[in-house]
């Protein structure tokens, strides 16, 4: 009996002693390489008590179920049909209540499809060598290490250089596209003077309009390759939005009629404007998803475009067509930016008017 108690006590002590942040249980190679088209697995050997939650990121972005070729398994990340763009920095983050641990990887993609066609010549760096007449070498990127970061976030006013240094025989040409449309020269500063500049797209004095997908197409007679960068220009602000003017205002509409609420938001960066409607008592189960604010539940309504006005404010309208009884109630306009949010509410009253509804339905006008 005593022995049994001691054993139990020891087990409890051992197991409580083991509780703590996750730890890496095996050595891993932080640089990994894989050939194009293959399937590979990046291991994440971690243990912990409580068992940690595992999350993977690639170049800072969460890998989720929308990434169809990727699968987060119990002890690693599987990548199927590896593509050139899969190159990058992968981090496995294991977290439990005590803390977290990261395992990071640099993944290199080996593309030897060019080498086969190039009959040996592709092994040398033909950018610096003489062009061998007759020997076609399809283009390849010669500095993949400088192209790993494909999603680039930069503050307004800063600059960014996108690189697509490549070689091939004959010497390839490069074309840059923004959101799939050819870039006008003056927009980017691509091409132009000097060998080095040819492969680099410099974007200076960034504005939000610079945000987008930039693709370089590098081609010669032997083939074509491309790479895409996503640039996000982030606006900074020191103040949360303010709702200005009198809107939204209490509004009354006939049954079946059309009306709208307006919301005017002042903000030095483009705000997110969102309309919410308070869920009336008894209607809680009518909606798939509601959010709770204070004592009330709200549904998030689909929002139309946010219009920018010359006076620096932003306007959004919520249109209510063919008003029904259940449209009546409290509406909230919420203006938000990175510094915070402000909101205002107004009520919609729907006047009963069965005749009006019948009329419009018969003629089918109000749609
Ligand atoms: C990757 O891991 C090493 C060693 O743990 C660390 O020095 C480095 O900062 C990590 N890099 C990133 C991007 O987390
Ligand atoms: C870019 O290259 C990939 C192969 O890496 C190819 O499948 C794709 O069609 C190319 N995109 C364009 C727009 O040429
Ligand atoms: C708007 O309607 C609500 C509810 O009927 C009322 O409490 C509020 O005072 C009204 N606001 C204005 C400005 O009339
Ligand atoms: C709730 O979800 C179902 C199925 O996903 C969908 O058909 C329905 O339109 C949704 N209802 C609302 C009010 O969003």
Helix (H, G, I), strand (E, B) or coil at 289: coil
Q: What is the mean pLDDT of the chain?
A: 80
Give me ligand 3 centre to Cα 312, in Å: 29
Q: Which of 250, 276, 262 is nearest to 341 (CA)?
A: 276
Q: Which ligand is nearest to the CA of 85?
A: 2
Q: Which of 158, 160, 188, 153 is nearest to 174 (CA)?
A: 188
Per-residue pLDDT of the chain (367 residues; tens, 9 = 90+): 444 334 333 433 334 445 788 899 999 999 999 988 889 999 999 988 888 888 899 998 888 877 889 998 878 999 988 888 899 999 998 888 788 899 999 999 888 765 544 333 334 443 444 444 567 889 999 988 889 889 888 888 889 999 999 998 888 999 999 999 988 765 444 444 445 568 999 999 998 889 999 999 999 988 999 999 999 887 777 788 889 888 899 999 999 999 999 999 998 878 888 899 998 887 777 776 777 777 788 888 887 788 888 887 899 999 999 999 989 999 999 888 777 888 899 999 999 876 544 444 444 344 3
107-131: pLDDT as tens digits: 998 887 655 443 333 344 434 444 4
Give me ligand 3 centre to Cα 349, in Å: 11
Give me ligand 2 centre to Cα 224, in Å: 8
Give me ligand 4 centre to Cα 302, in Å: 13
Question: Is any ligand 4 atom within 6 A of the Cβ of residue 285?
Answer: no
Question: Is any ligand 1 atom within 6 A of the Cβ of residue 60?
Answer: no
Kindly state the helix (H) or strand (E) to which residue 83 belongs, with its residue range.
Answer: none
Distances (CA, A) of 222 to 143, 165, 170, 225: 20, 17, 8, 10
Question: Is any ligand 4 atom within 6 A of the Cβ of residue 288?
Answer: yes
pLDDT at residue 40, rounded to an integer: 94
CB-defined site of ligand 3, < 6 Å: 250, 347
311: CB partners within 8 A, 6+ apart = none
Among 93, 100, 104, 107, which residue has the most ligand 1 atoms within 8 Å of its CB, making it the best to mutate? 104
272: CB partners within 8 A, 6+ apart = 306, 335, 336, 337
Judging by DSSP bridges, how do beta strands 223-234 and 151-155 pair with one another?
parallel
Among 284, 287, 288, 324, which residue has the most ligand 4 atoms within 8 Å of its CB, making it the best to mutate? 288
324: CB partners within 8 A, 6+ apart = 255, 350
> Beta strands of 235-327 (E only): which ranges?
242-243, 251-254, 259-266, 272-278, 291-293, 296-300, 307-308, 313-320
223-272: pLDDT as tens digits: 999 999 999 887 777 788 889 888 899 999 999 999 999 999 998 878 88
Query: What phi and psi, each to the nearest 5 degrees, are found at residue 311?
Result: -80, 10
Residue 343 pairs in a beta bridge with 334
Which is the closest atom of ligand 3 to the Cα of 349? 5
142: left (phi over 0), alpha (psi -120 to 50) or beta: alpha
Question: Is any ligand 1 atom within 6 A of the Cβ of residue 102?
Answer: yes
Whose C-alpha lies nearest to ligand 4, atom 3?
288
Give me ligand 4 centre to Cα 18, in Å: 46
pLDDT at residue 16, rounded to an integer: 44
pLDDT at residue 107, rounded to an integer: 93
Per-residue buried b or exposed e for 45-72, using 16+ beta carbons within 10 Å of the residue's own CB: ebebbeebebbbbbeeeebeeebeebeb
Q: Are 36 and 113 in contact (CB under 8 A)?
A: yes
Question: Is any ligand 1 atom within 6 A of the Cβ of residue 149?
Answer: no
Question: Is any ligand 4 atom within 6 A of the Cβ of residue 289?
Answer: no
Residue 162 pairs in a beta bridge with 201
Query: What phi and psi, each to the nearest 5 degrees, are found at residue 216?
Result: -100, 135
pLDDT at residue 295, rounded to an integer: 79
Judging by DSSP bridges, how do beta strands 242-243 and 200-203 pair with one another?
unpaired
Question: Is any ligand 4 atom within 6 A of the Cβ of residue 287?
Answer: yes
Distance CA 287, CA 273 (A): 21
């Amino acid at each position: 009996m005593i022995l049994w108690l001691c054993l139990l006590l020891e087990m409890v002590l051992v197991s409580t002693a083991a509780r703590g942040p996750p730890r890496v249980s095996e050595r891993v190679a932080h640089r990994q390489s894989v050939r194009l088209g293959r399937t590979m697995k990046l291991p994440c050997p971690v243990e912990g008590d409580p068992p940690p939650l595992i999350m993977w990121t690639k170049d800072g972005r969460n890998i989720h179920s929308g990434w169809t070729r990727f699968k987060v398994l119990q002890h690693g990340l599987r990548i199927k049909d590896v593509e050139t763009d899969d190159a990058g920095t992968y981090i496995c983050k294991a977290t439990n209540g005590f803390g977290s641990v990261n395992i990071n990887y640099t993944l290199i993609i080996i593309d030897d499809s060019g080498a086969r066609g190039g009959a040996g010549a592709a092994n040398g760096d033909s950018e610096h060598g003489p062009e061998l007449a007759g020997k076609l070498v399809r283009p390849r990127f010669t500095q993949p290490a400088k192209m790993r970061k494909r999603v680039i976030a930069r503050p307004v006013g800063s600059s960014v250089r996108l690189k697509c240094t490549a070689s091939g025989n004959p010497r390839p040409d490069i074309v840059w596209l923004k959101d799939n449309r050819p870039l006008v020269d003056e927009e980017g500063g691509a091409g132009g003077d000097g060998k080095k500049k040819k492969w680099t797209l410099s974007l200076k004095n960034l504005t939000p309009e610079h945000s987008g997908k930039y693709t370089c197409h590098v081609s010669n007679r032997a083939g074509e390759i491309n790479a895409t960068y996503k640039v996000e220009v982030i606006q900074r602000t020191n103040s949360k939005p303010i709702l200005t003017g009198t809107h939204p205002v209490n509004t009354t509409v006939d049954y079946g009629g059309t009306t709208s609420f307006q919301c005017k938001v002042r903000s030095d960066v483009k705000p997110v404007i969102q309309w919410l409607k308070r869920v009336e008592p008894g209607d809680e189960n009518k909606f798939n998803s509601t959010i709770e604010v204070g004592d009330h539940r709200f549904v998030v309504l689909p929002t139309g475009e946010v219009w920018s006005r010359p006076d620096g404010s932003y306007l959004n309208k919520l249109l209510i067509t063919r008003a029904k009884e259940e449209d009546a109630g409290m509406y909230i306009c919420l203006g938000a930016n990175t510094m915070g949010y402000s909101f205002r509410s107004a009520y919609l009253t729907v006047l009963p008017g069965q005749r009006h509804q019948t009329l419009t339905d018969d003629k089918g006008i109000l749609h």
